[in-house]
Structure 1
Amino acid sequence: MVPSLGSIASRLRLKQLRLLIALDDRGSLHKAAEHISISQSGATKALHEVESLLGMPLFERQPKGLVANEMGRCMIRYARLIYSDVEHLREEMLSIMQGQGGRLSVGVIMGAVPLLTRALSELRLKQPELSVELVENTSATLLGLLDQGRLDLAICRTSVGQRSDAYDCIELSEEPLAVVASKDHPLARAESLQLSQLSDYRWVVYPKDMPMRQALERELNEAGLEIPRYPLETSSTFATILLVQQDPTLLAVIPVEVAQFCEQHDLLVKLPVSMRALIEPYGVISRVGADLSPAATLLINELKQDLTT
């Protein structure tokens, strides 16, 4: 039986987590103990304590050394996350003591990436010692990371979350959309197009229930057209751009700002077909009641400033 949260919290120690990570990296108790500067008997005791707490072994002895089993891999994954958070805590404390910028973790949806990168560039001119982690993903994933405390802020939509009242939202912008294609696509040089002229081509689309996918399906439904059959699904901006760039039969719907960036850098072409903006604007999201760091507050100000210039 898995121990209670209280039991894990009171008995699990950072030294034990360091040992699990070292065992995974080095494959033997002797090398792991040497790496974290404890005796081999101390390492054996620490591993025994963790396995006793959980009530099950975490490693199997194989010819190549100690190898984590399924439960061991689970523990090691979270050990790395926890230890990484402690490292970030130390870095931020050190930055604060030295009068520097601290650390900021920000999540962002694809359409808001240009806005965020401009704001971060301005912020880092004012706070050159600020460390920033930027995570691009879907709104649903970003809200989950925000809930877990992995992000300070997320630039996304709250409607896909389970509890929109759990978040504070400062509305930033609508998200106009564009259809993009390879420069070698048969329609790449067209001067005007109707959506019906695109129905014979294959699409790269966002996963189901995501706003970008819903927007495309809404436009097709209203035009009396079928939803694309056998689409390529991805939530990755980079994968979308590469897939469309490399296959002259593919189309994709992406935010206008991203499409303009692709055109400026000769990656893709924006087709002359009308697409409406997403129904719900995106905003900068934080957890209700969360105390924002000075860096987070400064970033919000930069984001709002960008929209007014």
Structure 2
Amino acid sequence: MTPSLNSIISRLHLKQLRLLIALGDHGSLLKAAQQVALTQPGASKALQEIETTFGTPLFNRTNRGLEPNEVGHCVIRYARLIHTDVAHLREEIVGILRGHGGRVTVGVIMGAVPLLTDAISTLVARHMEMSVEIVEDTSATLLSQIDAGRLDLAICRTTISQVPQLYDSVKLQDETLAVIANVRHPLRHAKTLTLEDLAEYRWVVYRANMPMRLLLEREFRDSEIRFPPHLLETTSAFATLTLLQGNPSFVALVSIDVAQFFAHHKMTCILPLTLASRSEPYELVTRKGAPISPGSRLLIDELIGQRGAQPILCPRTL
């Protein structure tokens, strides 16, 4: 029977987590013991205590050493996460004590990456010791990471959530979309284009049911044009870029900020197609009721200041 959460919390120690990580790295009790400054008998006893805490063996004993079983792999993975979180905790405390804001972990959807990176570049120029972790993903994934406490804030959309009331949000800016292509695309010199002109080309798009994809489907439907059946689906800006650069006939729908960044660096061109539909705005999102760290507050203020947005976040700080 698996021990209760209270039992695990009361018996598990951070040094034991270091031992688990070392065992995962080396597969040898002796090498792991040396890494965490224990004798081999001491490490063996500590491992027995860990396995007792979880109520199950975590390793298979083989001629080659210790190999994590399925539960062992799970426990080692969480040990690494906890170790990383403690490291981030220390880093943030140091930052607070030194007055430079510490650390912030922020999520962002692909289209808003230039918006976020502009704000971060300005912020770290003023707070050079501040650390920032950027996680790029879909709105759904970013909101789930906010729920789990893995992100301090995110630039995404709460409209995809069934419970948007769980979040505080600020409208940062409307999203304008553009169609981009290889700089050698056959229609690169066209003065104006319609959706029908591009219907037979291969599209790189977001996957189904995501806001940008739904908008494109609506554009085809309203124009009474069959939606392209053979798509390349990705949420990665880099994957989109490499697909376009490798295939002169491909086209992709992205935010105007991403499109202008690529075009400025001559990586892609913007095709002269005007879309009738409007995309949903970017939101700056935090978990309702969660404390806002000094580092997060600095980034929030930078984003809001750059865009002139009116905050509706409560001024909570740690």
Scaled by the length of structure 2, the TM-score of the pair is 0.92
CA contact (8 A) 1:176 1:275 kept: no
Matched, 1:191 2:187: no
CA contact (8 A) 1:101 1:130 kept: yes
Quote the residue 1:181 is aligned against: 181
Measure how far apart 1:63 and its partner are.
Answer: 4.2
- Distance 1:68-1:278 versus aligned 2 partners, 3 A rule: farther
- Distance 1:2-1:271 versus aligned 2 partners, 3 A rule: farther
| d(CA) in 1 for partners of 2:123, 2:183 | 35
| d(CA) in 2 for partners of 1:178, 1:213 | 13
Matched, 1:36 2:33: no
Measure how far apart 1:210 and its partner are.
Answer: 1.3
CA deviations on 1:190-214 (whole Å, 9 max, x unpaired) are: 2211101111111111122211111
- Distance 1:87-1:245 versus aligned 2 partners, 3 A rule: same
Range with greater deviation from structure 2 (61-70 or 127-136)? 61-70
Quote the residue 2:229 is aligned against: 229
Structure 1 segments, 4+ long, off by >4 Å, are: none
- Distance 1:162-1:22 versus aligned 2 partners, 3 A rule: farther
| d(CA) in 1 for partners of 2:277, 2:76 | 43
> Aligned runs of 1:221-300 on 2, under 5 Å?
221-276=221-276, 278-300=278-300
Q: Which amino acid aligns with 1:18?
A: R
| d(CA) in 2 for partners of 1:63, 1:186 | 62
Matched, 1:144 2:165: no
| d(CA) in 1 for partners of 2:75, 2:208 | 32
Measure how far apart 1:7 and its partner are.
Answer: 2.6
CA deviations on 1:34-86 (whole Å, 9 max, x unpaired) are: 00011212211222222223332222234433222222111111111110000
CA contact (8 A) 2:181 2:269 kept: yes
Quote the residue 2:314 is aligned against: none
Range with greater deviation from structure 2 (133-142 or 118-127)? 118-127
Q: Which amino acid aligns with 2:289?
A: G
CA contact (8 A) 1:107 1:155 kept: yes
Q: CA RMSD in A?
A: 1.7
Quote the residue 2:27 is aligned against: 27
> Aligned runs of 1:72-91 on 2, under 5 Å?
72-91=72-91
CA contact (8 A) 2:212 2:279 kept: no
Matched, 1:153 2:144: no
Q: Which amino acid aligns with 2:21?
A: I
Count of aligned positions = 309
| d(CA) in 1 for partners of 2:162, 2:26 | 41
Matched, 1:170 2:170: yes
User: Percent of aligned positions with the same letter in both sequences?
Assistant: 53
Q: Which amino acid aligns with 1:35?
A: Q
CA contact (8 A) 1:175 1:277 kept: no
Measure how far apart 1:101 and its partner are.
Answer: 2.6
| d(CA) in 2 for partners of 1:207, 1:228 | 13
CA contact (8 A) 2:101 2:298 kept: no
Structure 2 unaligned spans of 5+: 310-318
| d(CA) in 2 for partners of 1:18, 1:178 | 49
Structure 1 unaligned spans of 5+: none
Range with greater deviation from structure 2 (267-276 or 22-31)? 267-276
Measure how far apart 1:172 and its partner are.
Answer: 0.6
| d(CA) in 2 for partners of 1:103, 1:199 | 46
| d(CA) in 1 for partners of 2:104, 2:301 | 14
CA deviations on 1:194-237 (whole Å, 9 max, x unpaired) are: 10111111111112221111111111111112222121111111
Measure how far apart 1:278 and its partner are.
Answer: 4.5
| d(CA) in 1 for partners of 2:254, 2:247 | 16
CA contact (8 A) 1:102 1:295 kept: yes
Measure how far apart 1:97 and its partner are.
Answer: 2.4
Quote the residue 1:12 is aligned against: 12
Measure how far apart 1:121 and its partner are.
Answer: 1.6
| d(CA) in 2 for partners of 1:47, 1:124 | 43
CA deviations on 1:16-40 (whole Å, 9 max, x unpaired) are: 2111110011110000010001121
